[in-house]
Chains A and B, each alone.
Chain A
Amino acid sequence: MLEKLEKMDRRLIYLVVFLSLTIPLIWPIGLPVSIGSETRSLYELIDGLPARTPVIVSFDCSPGGYGELSSGAMALLNHMAKKDLRCIGMGFFDTGPSLLEGALASSLYKGKTYGTDYVNLGYLAGGENGISAMAKNILGSFPKDFRGASTAGLPVLQGIAGVKDMALVVTVSSGTPGVAEWIRQVGDPLKVPMATVLVAVNIPNMTPYLQAKQLCGMIPSMKGGAGYEALINMKALGTAGMDAQSISHLAILFFVILGNVIYFAGRNKPAAAKGGGRQ
């Protein structure tokens, strides 16, 4: 039995994980979604902003990472649109502004006026250098928006001399440049509140920024997205995915425990019985 388990085809594990993800998506269970304090604090900050306040939403992510960020980013944009906040979109990943364009078209901003209520300023190359340049001069860094129109005189940018005039900067981040670069060039030196929609793999690295209050909020991965959807009462992809997430975690926990049981049981066996390898 133990030997059979030791030699189990890894594709069987893939199949179990695949089923644990697919079945709850087709037949949802409705498991409760917990809301983290970091997600709630971002919600409360945005909810307290007066109408027409400008907020930078920077899509610093690739399509590969956007899958887990989309629910949080969409919930954030929908909340901002509900509160009638000005959305100043941009990206420091070349693929970010294209993803932002799609997100804006699917959010409540689609019912608002481009150029007056929201804008997609497009991509600026240079990573951290680009963020630094933008912080010094937004219009100079983005003379044209993502759609190729001149940004000079856009109503959405009226009264904005620089990044200091922003009430909040949110980076939808899947890598570098991302949270750390934004904090170094904008959050800390200009004292602009920073928040992030973040991929799960970066959560442990970025949590110290929350504790140090360099970040005022965070929507971590799909779990954070589901929490934010609950807060704004607009259940969507994040909430739908949480059942699958929970069941798949149970499946992985089961395999982690099984793997350890097999490992420790195998250690106690006499060497000759193990077979294979050098004696």
Chain B
Amino acid sequence: MSVSTSAGVWIASLATLAIMSFAYKDNPFYRLVENLYVGVSAGHAIVLGWGNIRDLGWTPMVQKGQWILLIPMILGILLYARYFKQVFWISRIPIAFLMGIGTGLSISGIIGSQVVTQAKANIVALNNWDNVVIVLGTFGVLSYFFFLLEHKGVGGAVARFGRYVMMVAFGAAFGSTVMGRMSLFIARLQYLLANWLGVIK
């Protein structure tokens, strides 16, 4: 067992313990580290964001004469108009650009990748149990969300089957979430036990 002598490891380990202490009850150490985390994350994001503006906007504009980049730069600055009551409305222009470009870019991809390809992947030969489950499960779940007819009789039975399929899916999602949370905790414990306390290798 060899306890770390690194100041960085000690800070990270004590911060981890402070965050974990919330499981016992809320306390000033937890709140201090929580605020520290938010502050560090915001600072880090600002520095990297500024790096992007400098490398992809300012430098090509000033050094290479790509003055067309002035347009996105001005649009970016206009976002801050929202902090001034009299010119608040101006901030809607860059937001409209952002919404339009973002939506346009993602919708074409969503239709292709998440609607057409996913639908095609459900058209499979019923020659093994996996495919049978995929087809019947998809059909059942879609039936559950079909509201033009009352869920009665055969339609009701299919919709009920769809509900059970969704319950199984939610159970799998819950199990995955538990596994993920445990993995996160294990990673921190490994850090504390290996890097800080030197109990494990």
Contacts and interface: CB of A to CB of B under 8 A. Distances in A.
Contact of B105 (A64, A128, A141, A221): A128
A237 interface: yes
A264 interface: no
Given A208-B121, A211-B121, A249 B134 contact: no
B100 to A, nearest CB: 11
Contacts of B48: 94, 123, 125
A252 B178 contact: yes
B189 A128 contact: no
B183 A67 contact: yes
Q: Which of the listed residues A184, A223, A249 has the most CB atoms from chain B within 10 Å of its own CB? A: A184
B185 interface: yes
Interface range on chain B (Cβ under 8 Å from partner)? 35 or more
B112 interface: yes
B52 A241 contact: no
Nearest to A132: B105
Contact of B44 (A66, A94, A184, A252): A94
Contacts of A222: 179, 183, 186-187
B126 to A, nearest CB: 15
Nearest to A143: B55
A201 B177 CA distance: 5
A41 interface: no
Interface in A85-126: 94-95, 98, 122-125
B51 interface: yes
Contacts of A68: 180, 183-184, 187
A211 B59 CA distance: 45
B197 to A, nearest CB: 10
A49 to B, nearest CB: 24
B117 interface: yes
Contacts of B87: none
B4 interface: no
A201 B106 contact: no
A11 B179 CA distance: 20
Contact of A204 (B112, B134, B172, B183): B172
Given A188-B112, A211-B121, A214-B113, A200 B190 contact: no
B12 to A, nearest CB: 10
A22 interface: yes
B118 interface: yes
A246 to B, nearest CB: 10
Nearest to B178: A252
B167 interface: no
Contact of A221 (B51, B179, B188): B179
Contacts of A65: 184
Nearest to B109: A184
A58 interface: no
B121 to A, nearest CB: 3
**Top 7 closest A-B pairs, CB basis?**
A184-B109, A200-B180, A67-B187, A68-B183, A212-B121, A222-B183, A241-B186
Interface of A: 11, 14, 21-22, 25-26, 64-68, 70, 94-95, 98, 122-125, 127-129, 132, 141, 143-144, 180-181, 183-185, 187-189, 199-201, 203-204, 208, 211-214, 221-223, 237, 240-241, 244-245, 248-249, 252
Given A95-B44, A188-B112, A188-B117, 20 more contacts: A11-B23, A64-B184, A67-B184, A67-B186, A129-B101, A129-B105, A143-B60, A189-B112, A200-B177, A201-B173, A203-B176, A211-B121, A212-B118, A214-B113, A221-B176, A222-B179, A223-B179, A237-B187, A244-B186, A244-B189
5 contacts: A67-B184, A144-B55, A201-B177, A223-B183, A241-B190
Interface of B: 23-24, 41, 44-45, 48-49, 51-52, 55-56, 59-60, 101-102, 105-106, 109-110, 112-114, 117-118, 120-121, 134, 169, 172-173, 176-180, 182-190, 193, 199-200
